[in-house]
Amino acid sequence: MFDGSLRTAFDRLVAPLGRGLQRLGISPDVITIVGVLMAAACGVAIGTGRFFTAAVLLALTGLPDALDGAVAKAGGRAGPRGAFLDSVSDRLSDGLLFAGAGWYLAGTDNPRMAMLPFGLFISASLVSYQRAKAESLGFNAKGGLMERAERFIALGFGLVFSQLFVVTLWVMLALTVATAVQRFFKVWRQAGGDMPPAPLRAGRTRRRTRRPVSDFRRRAEARAEARRRSPNR
């Protein structure tokens, strides 16, 4: 939802900050790594039940995630390498945050609730994978009710209002699953159900199209007729 409606305006907002950081010589890769470290600290704070500290750290985690791309664009360094690092760091950061939530819930009166963040991480990873796979196939899978930015906001809400933490996780899970289903059918409609031709295996070539049987029969009959008419038979 954020990518579909607010991404362009947000990029324009952080562009001056990106240019400023780029002039200071700060690498976008360093900013990305700092974001992962902040996510790890946030996960530890969640796991130990220090929710207010975790909320502050979560906000600080979102800043590098928003600025690394702006710095890369300002310095003309946006490319596949940075995109790959950013994508991997996003998945790692998500895992650290949900691991902290699982650790905290495992120490409550109902330790089975630790499966809730685990399920949330699975569904969130599926949403991200659907977009990556769809784009690799030339389709568009952006959009949905609970993308990464919305998950950050919802998790921050649950940390600030800690009495609603578990309820917030359930809502996040439901909306993330709904987003996964929404993206699946979006790409399915774009693909149209057409199956591309299977690629050739290495070392093999396609078989030539066989001539119709009638064509071979006509040739054989013509050769037989020619032999019958030949005087040297």
Tell me which of 65, 68, 86, 90 is the catalytic residue. Answer: 90
Q: Which of 113, 111, 94 is nearest to 176 (CA)?
A: 94
Tell me, yes or no, if 194 is annotated catalytic. no
Asked if residues 11 and 68 have their Cβ atoms less than 8 Å apart, the reply is: no
DSSP string covering the chain: -HHHHTHHHHHHHHHHHHHHHHHTT--HHHHHHHHHHHHHHHHHHHHTT-HHHHHHHHHHHHHHHHHHHHHHHHTT--SHHHHHHHHHHHHHHHHHHHHHHHHHHHTSS-GGGGHHHHHHHHHHHHHHHHHHHHHHTT------SS-HHHHHHHHHHHHHSGGGHHHHHHHHHHHHHHHHHHHHHHHHHHHTTPPPPPPPPTT--PPPPPPPHHHHHHHHHHHHHHHHH-TT-
Active site residues: 90
